[in-house]
Amino acid sequence: MTLMSAPILGYPDMTKQFILDTDASGFGIGAVLSQIHEGKEVVVAYYSKSLSKAQRQYCVTRRELLADQKEIDNSDETFETVDFLRMAKVQDSQEASCSNKSDSAMWYEHKTNEEMFEAQKSDNVLFNLFRLKSDNNNRPEWADVALHDVKLKKYWSQWDRIVLINNVLYRKWINTTTEESNLQFIVPEIWKENIMKMLHDDIQVGHFGIHKTVARAQNRFYWVNHKDEITKWVQNCIVCNSRKQPPRKAKSKMKQYNVGAQWKELPWI
Ligand SMILES: [Zn+2]
Cα of 206 to ligand 1 centre, how many Å?
8
Cα of 99 to ligand 1 centre, how many Å?
22
Cα of 214 to ligand 1 centre, how many Å?
13
Cα of 202 to ligand 1 centre, how many Å?
9
What single-letter DSSP state applies at residue 2?
Answer: G
Q: Which residues surround ligand 1, an ion (CB under 5 A)?
A: 207, 237, 239-240
Cα of 87 to ligand 1 centre, how many Å?
34
Cα of 196 to ligand 1 centre, how many Å?
10
Q: What is the pLDDT of residue 255?
A: 78
Cα of 194 to ligand 1 centre, how many Å?
13
The dihedral built from the CA positions of residue 179, 180, 186 and 192, taken in this order, carries a sign that is negative
Percent of the chain past pLDDT 90, that is, above it, reads 36
Cα of 184 to ligand 1 centre, how many Å?
23
Residue 156's Cβ-count burial label (10 Å; 0-12, 13-18, 19+) is buried
Cα of 161 to ligand 1 centre, how many Å?
32
Q: What is the pLDDT of residue 96?
A: 42
Taking the C-alpha atoms of residue 70 and residue 50, their distance in angstroms, rounded to an integer, is 11
Q: Are the beta carbons of 15 and 56 closer than 8 angstroms?
A: no
Q: What is the mean pLDDT of the chain?
A: 79
Query: For residue 141, what are the contacts with CB-CB under 8 A and spacing of at least 6?
Result: none
Q: Which amino acid is at 234?
A: V
Q: Which amino acid is at 151?
A: K
Taking the C-alpha atoms of residue 11 and residue 177, their distance in angstroms, rounded to an integer, is 59
Categorize the per-residue pLDDT at 65 as very low, low, confident or very high, splitting at 50, 70 and 90: low
Q: Which amino acid is at 245?
A: Q
Asked whether residue 95 carries a pLDDT value surpassing 60, the answer given is: no
Taking the C-alpha atoms of residue 119 and residue 93, their distance in angstroms, rounded to an integer, is 26
Cα of 212 to ligand 1 centre, how many Å?
12
Nearest CA-CA partner of 122 in 191, 26, 61: 191
How would DSSP label each residue in 82-119? S-BS--S---HHHHHHTSSS-HHHHHHHHS-HHHHHHH
Taking the C-alpha atoms of residue 84 and residue 168, their distance in angstroms, rounded to an integer, is 49
Q: Using one digit for the tens of pLDDT, what is the confidence trace for 186-226? A: 999 999 999 999 899 877 668 999 999 999 898 889 999 99
Cα of 195 to ligand 1 centre, how many Å?
13
Query: For residue 105, what are the contacts with CB-CB under 8 A and spacing of at least 6?
Result: 220
Q: Using one digit for the tens of pLDDT, what is the confidence trace for 103-154? A: 666 676 688 999 999 999 999 999 999 999 999 889 999 998 999 999 999 9
Q: Are the beta carbons of 210 and 235 closer than 8 angstroms?
A: yes
Categorize the per-residue pLDDT at 75 as very low, low, confident or very high, splitting at 50, 70 and 90: low
What single-letter DSSP state applies at residue 139?
Answer: P
Which pTM does this prediction carry?
0.55
The residue among 118 and 16 whose pLDDT is bigger is: 118
Asked whether residue 159 carries a pLDDT value surpassing 90, the answer given is: yes
Torsion, CA 119, CA 124, CA 130, CA 132, rounded to 10: 180
Taking the C-alpha atoms of residue 187 and residue 23, their distance in angstroms, rounded to an integer, is 39
Cα of 13 to ligand 1 centre, how many Å?
50
Percent of the chain past pLDDT 70, that is, above it, reads 68
